[in-house]
Amino acid sequence: MIEDFAENANENVILRQRGQRLTFNVLMGVGNNDYLIQIEKGRVAGVVPRRLAMESSVFSVRASADAWSEHWTQNPKRGYHDLLSMIAAGHLAIDGDLLPFLQNLLYFKMLFAAPRQDVVVPVSADSIGKPISSLTADGPLYEPIMGRYFNMPLGGRNYRIYVEEAGHGIPLVCLHTAGSDGRQFRHLMCDPAITDHFRVLAFDLPWHGKSTPPAGWEQETYQLTTHGYKELVQAFCGALALENPVVMGCSMGGRVVLHLAMDHPSDYRAVIALEGADKLEPYYDIDWLHRSDIHGGEISAGYVSGQVAPQSPDEYRWETLWSYMQSGPGIFKGDLYFYWHDGHFDDRSHLIDTSKCPVYLLSGEYDSSCTPERSEATHLRIKGSVLNIMEGIGHFPMSENPDLFRMHLLPVLERIRNEK
């Protein structure tokens, strides 16, 4: 495949656009063979064997021939599908100047995957999230989502919270992932199979999306804590007078719902942890996420891009990354403090009483952060919890592949409806 590397890379319009200011050499090690990838304004001008040690490159990326071969298959296994995932799994090593690599992370992820013959997965014609014509004979065709602000006092500060909702019935509060916002749940809000029975609410945490930071934010460094996160969700449900809601969170939201089930079981009808576990291990350096010499939105999107499953529709993949590209300075990094450090409670999660608050764990096959193995370990510690490993889905089930995700979610919601 190395012989077609340049041709495949140069056929990628997105790759050429993203790399148009890049001109330098990088080294790719394939087993015992080293190749210089010669980049000129984003195009691959040549791929040549390196014969002399003095032939320079900005950085090097090395993996075994078998590892690259798996990386280049159409649907690679988890741990081989993304450069950062390969590093975390010990399949790949990178050395040299990391700054240009991380400044252009999305570019280099696509570049080194160039031999992969990706099949662009279209959104199906009857998709619940398929873009629809904005005009009809009678005027605009609006989605059934209503958004508005409300002011919520908490801890001596006032928070201006943006919330969207759709449907009627049992309240279903949705908590977004670290560094993103409530737009991730828009597909659920357009699904009558859900909204006919549930009042779906998704709010942007303060500092995220359309929710503004509290006054004085410029004098502090944002950092999400377990106590603050739990208190915020409790205050939100109280402010809207939600009676015994279901709370569903993804990633860091999936972590906090487990805390809520343990500390406030009587307040919730059930909790659904998407990509949530009681303990996780960091697998990349978060200090790169907030630096003056790196675009925060670009590196945030680059970091999480490999968390989307290879099989997810291309349109939804980029929609998922778009919200990360818009994340506020240092917000993703501040969220990960809770997700990777402060929120661990594997020594206490066994205290969750699922007879008082049912717990559902749904984990994507391609999640390299909250891996299926970590969800399984959490499931074993929480007696009575229900676990579902979702094939062909990554870390963002509700936004990266909503049509496939609903096949897993709908039976859970039906079970919750019938339990009480």
Do 103 and 151 lie in one domain? The reply is: no
The answer to whether residue 221 sits within a structural domain is yes
Residue 234 clears pLDDT 60, i.e. is over it? yes
The answer to whether residue 133 sits within a structural domain is no
CATH number at residue 26: 3.30.1050.10
Do 61 and 158 lie in one domain? The reply is: no
Quick one: pLDDT at residue 140?
76
Residue 259 clears pLDDT 70, i.e. is over it? yes
The answer to whether residue 118 sits within a structural domain is no
The residue behind tokens 């010990």 is 90
Q: Which tokens hold the place of 116?
A: 């992969």
Do 167 and 97 lie in one domain? The reply is: no
Do 175 and 88 lie in one domain? The reply is: no
- The domain of 32 spans 2-112
Contacts of 132 (CB under 8 A, 6+ apart): 141
Classify residue 387 by burial, with Cβ atoms within 10 Å: 0-12, 13-18, 19+. Answer: middle
Do 214 and 90 lie in one domain? The reply is: no
Do 108 and 197 lie in one domain? The reply is: no
Q: How many CA atoms lie within 13 A of 376 on its CB side?
A: 8
CATH number at residue 356: 3.40.50.1820
Do 199 and 310 lie in one domain? The reply is: yes
Do 68 and 149 lie in one domain? The reply is: no
Nearest to 322 by CA among 111, 113, 180, 128: 180
Task: Summarize pLDDT for 357-413 with one digit per residue, the tens.
Answer: 999 999 999 999 999 999 999 999 999 999 999 999 999 999 999 999 999 999 999
Do 80 and 158 lie in one domain? The reply is: no
Domain count, the chain: 2
The whole-model pTM stands at 0.93
CA-to-CA distance for 172 and 51, rounded, in angstroms? 61
The answer to whether residue 124 sits within a structural domain is no
The answer to whether residue 126 sits within a structural domain is no
Region 246-272: mean pLDDT is 98
The answer to whether residue 267 sits within a structural domain is yes
